[in-house]
Structure 1
Amino acid sequence: MNPKPSLRAVRGEILHFLSDPAVAGAAALQHFSDGILAIRDGHVVELGPADDMLAKLPSDIVHDDYRGQLILPGFVDTHTHYAQTDIIASHGEQLLAWLEKYTFPAEARFADPAHAATVANFFCDELLRNGTTTVMAFATVHASSVDALFEAALQRRMRLITGKVLMDRNCPPELRDCAASGEAESRTLIERWHGRERLLYAVTPRFACTSTPAQMESAARLFAQHPGLYLQSHLAESRGEVEWTARLHPTARSYLDVYDGFGQLGARSMYAHCIWLDDVDRARMATTGSAMSFCPTSNLFLGSGLFDLERARALGVRVGLGTDVGAGTSFSMLQTLNEAYKVLQLKGQRLSAQSAFHLATLGGAHSLYLDDRIGNFLPGKEADLVVLDPQATPLLARRMASCAKLSERLFVMMMLGDERMVAATHVMGEVAWRRPLRR
């Protein structure tokens, strides 16, 4: 007989969300100023006030004591590019020029499996250092780049969604596949990785301009044929991209209509950016269960435009948050929330701190149809968590001293915080990263 998995506990100030604060208000969150999270076999067993939990837990239970720090569910990044890690902070282009000048040359290097493995390991370590435990990421057109990222995530027990990029036109020859080869390689990767441990596969047409109609049909076929499969792409990021798409697809009503016409909308489809849409498009995404990834740092960096969270919410679209590295300028979800707040200020919209942290945790999980497994600390959920240190920098410590309410403290964390705030990251209950002790 296998021994019963050992029970362990995590103690500290604990916050998680039961629903969206923008809808349910204060009832959407659960907060314990001193709480204990009990974990067995990588899953949440129970959560409650420390005094109550101590009375029922074994006296010799192994526990991590984070009193004085804030424990949240692990962050969920719904759109990024691991192959663009090495071009983050590259100067001076907008989207289409960025692809030609920086992205395509960087991705061509992933023909080398050793290079792909090196970047994949760095990428996953950097996510954990920033408190991100679930990620949906683009690889490259090379099947070996997908293998490398899945292998790195598997070693760390992270929840990862990725897939081989499909591109058979309007890209350099060394990054071009064809509809048949793209589908065949994708099928092999799906069989190898999809549903293995915490790994999930995403059919990945880069965007409508880089796949022929034959490849778009192929991508839709893959998406429809495999239960639980994801699809990820880009949508209406910049005006130039929208105009180019209209020239290539003159009979489509809109950019979204191109994907819809090829059968690529539906549950578990994730579209990054979604800036230059109208309410007809947004309503169609809501009806089909398709999701948007809000990528504020890259949208500002490339000068693409401002995401309309208010209209997406009003029409019932699922929305997650994406760092979109390397056009995105940080792996930190705290910094991404910082920029999200500013984008919405420019749109004349408000983002409360509670709504922001919901977006980075349970909201992201909901957008990925994973909220039955991750996103909060309800019993049975996978025990991924991030520990934030409110005293991480002198400025944070000083500013926190004048905060009377939880909402104030959360707002300060998202505006002044970055990876320095992350004291520890746990994956499936175990420490995956911990900040080195200060000397």
Structure 2
Amino acid sequence: MKKSRFKVLSIIVVVFMLATTLMGCSKDTTDSNDNQSGGNTPNVDNNKPVTVTAMIMQSRYTEGLKNMIQKLKDEENITLEAQIIPDDQYDNLMTLKLATGEAPDIIDYNVPAIYGVVDAEKNLEDLSNEPWVAKLKNDSNVRFNDKIYAFPFSELTGFQGIIYNTEVFEKNNIEVPKTWDDVLAACEILKEKGITPFFSPKDSWVPQIWMTAGYSKALGQDKVEEFAEQLLTNQTKFTDHPELAQVIDTYIEVFDKGYVNEDYLSASLDKGLDQLAKGEVAMLYGSNGVANSIVEAFPDAKINMCNPKMPYQTEDLVSVAAYSVGLVINKNAKEMDAAKKILELWSTPAYENLYFETKPGFPAFKDVDGGELYAFMLDIQRDYIETGKTVPEMNQLLTPIQPLYRSTLWVYYLDAPGKGMNGAELLEKFQADVEKLMKEKQAPGF
């Protein structure tokens, strides 16, 4: 892994800052822009109905995406037959379908994380020469071995922190936490009043946000990139850094003190979002994407986000995610031309604007209206991103070990509170998994 890979993240954060000042300027885009492809549209007979198959994670099947799918059917006679799969089952099913030749035409996944999970050259269609590539604001995050195999929706996904119900805080005279001690004090007040302080779901990708953000903030701006490079070349180990174990220990602490819902191993994220919106729980450690989902489902919900400085931090930083929800095309797609046409159409403002209409963000494509940012996004943007107080989340820096996330590491995080495992023990266990995987890959240094 090269230093230049990580420098890209800083560039993208700068673009994030520019995007917030330009947001909304694209609303005057004309219909002629919607049809500019920059190249030839795949050869599909517009008069002939065609059905393209897809698999999509349940949490990403948003109203905006549904509207895009409906527009395809109404205007192009293209039906996107999507299998909606629970997030915690998605990885296993995707890899199984690819291995058995049963994968659909289009597959939903995070980009560039997909490159660490599947063999792109073997399984995915090369999209480097598609017309929409020229319309990307920045293509560095979708490239793999100098080729593009993925279609991104966003240039920058956002950031992580504590999502909280502002009405619950106000009614209980709780100030927005600025430190970990403030968080614990708020939890104690809430617990005494019969309100569950934190919600944690069975969906393993949610609780892991605490760690992927925490690891990077614990290491700091100057050390996080070096750590990632050295870990992937066997020059350092997770277990060499006690501050990483401390991140896990703070996560476990809220469970040990009874500040988390008792059904965390069985409760769904949807249940948690509903309870948080209604004020039945007060907080959830997540991302602005999760917060967006609450606002989308519950427009009247009073929520905000905060980023308290944790005991393992020496710098006051926010963790940012320079990846995107994206789509790839199965190399053996039955409806290849139609699948490519969908991506070309979806790169235009006519479709992309629908995607961001109910879920504001930072579009990957030029001339797209990302929507009006929510107040909680503007606060973090002002206090951290504009001032350069950011660090890339750990997950995206360790793409080669991505296959271990859902199957191993994130399971350890779910199990740790109930099994009495501390941070040091968890990382020792995971370090062995990392070394085994990297030896199997014959990675340099292993």
Taking CA–CA contacts closer than 8 Å with sequence separation of 6 or more, which of the two structures ends up with the larger relative contact order? 2
Greater strand content: 1
Greater helix content: 2
Q: TM-score, normalised by structure 1?
A: 0.26
Q: TM-score, normalised by structure 2?
A: 0.26
